[in-house]
Each structure stands twice: as structure tokens, then as C-alpha cells.
Amino acid sequence: MAIEVPEGKSYAVRSSNENRQGYAFGEALGDTARRNLPQHPQTGGAKKMREYAVVYEKGPVSWGAYLPDLPGLAATADTLEEVQELIREGLELHLESMLEDGDPIPEAASRVGTLKTDIVEAWKPQLAKTA
């Protein structure tokens, strides 16, 4: 059965899995819900983005990454480039799964910064004397 979609309108279908919240492509949404759906760049619309902080850690033999705002999401790989790719893919899959399950999506609240200190350099002469 084909559904005729008027130009400029978007539709979605409720998932057949009754345990899941949300919509999949097909069933008509109300005007408010339609305005809140993300716009995709392939349609020429603007896309609202969330920016989550990610922490990269160099271990003895590999790299790790995690997002403080999304507990349970982590990745490891041999190189920084590989872990960056894996955590990006993981973020998308993690959020899609949360949306499909009707789970609330945490706001991007964490920030990453750096701190400068000269304490190590200041202590080097004293540490060299005791070694």
C-alpha cells in the first residue's frame, strides 16, 4: 500500500514493537511533533547538533575513549585515530538505541579543559638530589 505524502509534509510510522517509544518513518505526526523532528542535510534543512565532551586516554598499549555524559559508552583501539572513529560510531548507535527504547537523552553538560602547572618542573631539582 503506497502512502501519498503532500509536498512539504513529513510522516512517521509507530514501531510495531509496542515496548518501544517513538516513531519510525510512515504514520502522520502532529504539527508540534513534526517541528521537533531533526532536519537532515540531504533535504537542505538545518540540523541541530549536540556536542558531547569526549575523553581520550593513552594507555600502555592502546587508546581509550569515553563520554562522561553517556555512562556505558566507551571504546578502545590501537591508535588515537581508530578510537576516535569507534567512539563516533558508538555515540550514534548508543543514541539511536536510547531513542528506540524511549530512554531520555542526557544533555551535553560536561566540559573538557586543560590546566597548566609548573609544579613538576619546580620539584625536579629537589627530586634529583634524593634519587
pLDDT value of position 38? 52
Q: Would you say residue 48 has pLDDT above 90?
A: no
Sketch the domain layout of the chain as residue ranges.
1-47, 50-112
Total H helices, total E strands in the chain: 3, 5
Measured in degrees and rounded to the nearest 5, phi and psi for residue 14 equal: -70, 135
The CATH class of the 50-112 domain is alpha beta
Q: Is residue 21 predicted with pLDDT exceeding 70?
A: no
Instruction: Return the pLDDT at 102.
Output: 95
pLDDT at 27 over 70: no
pLDDT of residue 44: 55
3-state secondary structure of 84: helix
- Distance between CA atoms of residues 74 and 67, nearest Å: 7
Give the C-alpha separation, 2 to 98, whole Å. Answer: 30
- Residues 101 and 89: their CA atoms lie apart, in Å, by 18
**What is the residue-averaged pLDDT of the chain?**
74
Q: What is the dihedral of CA 94, 100, 101, 106, to 10 degrees?
A: 50
| pTM metric for this prediction | 0.58
| Alpha-carbon dihedral angle through residues 102, 108, 110, 111, given to the nearest 10 degrees | 160
